[in-house]
Amino acid sequence: MIKSFISAFVLMMITAFAFAQDGSAKMVKWDFTSKKINDKTYELRFTATIDGKFHIYAQNLGVDGPVPTSFVFTKNPLVVLNGKPKEVGKVIKKHEEVWGGDVSFYENKVDFVQTVQLKSKVKTNVGGTVEFMVCDDKKCLPPAEVSFKVPVGG
């Protein structure tokens, strides 16, 4: 009896943990592309397509609480990042009581655009991770992290 209960409990916890690990990831489809701007300059585009009535938070939220969208780039000695990613989309600023202030977020779709400069004419990749969290008007899902690798140069 106790063994069955423990087995059922462990299975339930594993299932809950698995859902928590990719809750936000299931609600956002990411596309990672690059576009040559000039000889050594590329524009990286990270497009988030948000499912349903969920929204994804901006990089600068305006309050503490929800997890802002953030990018961590893997160091690459062949590439220089120009600033941080710019947000291209219809930003919504709304007062949310649960967070105690005004927050900035996107619905449906948003592009994060990062400009990079190659140090020489080479072919390489820009890699890293994006961390984000989605919420709707009733609940928030656990934050998720997605890896990316975008080819540039060549």
Quote the mean pLDDT of the chain.
Answer: 87
Distances (CA, A) of 106 to 54, 59, 114, 139: 9, 11, 18, 16
Largest CA-CA distance found in the chain, in angstroms, rounded: 70
pLDDT band at 9; cut points 50, 70, 90: very low
Decide: 153 and 118 in contact? Cβ < 8 Å.
yes
Q: What percent of the chain has pLDDT over 90?
A: 72
User: Rounded CA gap, 138 and 21, in Å?
Assistant: 19
- The answer to whether residue 41 scores a pLDDT higher than 70 is yes
Amino acid 77: pLDDT: 97
User: Rounded CA gap, 112 and 125, in Å?
Assistant: 17
Domain with 100, as residue range(s), is 2-153
* 2 or 100: which leads in pLDDT: 100
Amino acid 140: pLDDT: 93
One-letter amino acid identity for 38?
N
CATH number, domain with residue 70 = 2.60.40.1250
- The answer to whether residue 6 scores a pLDDT higher than 50 is no
pLDDT in tens, 12-29: 333 333 344 457 889 999
pTM for the whole thing? Answer: 0.83
Strands 144-153 and 123-132: antiparallel
Domain count of the fold of the chain: 1
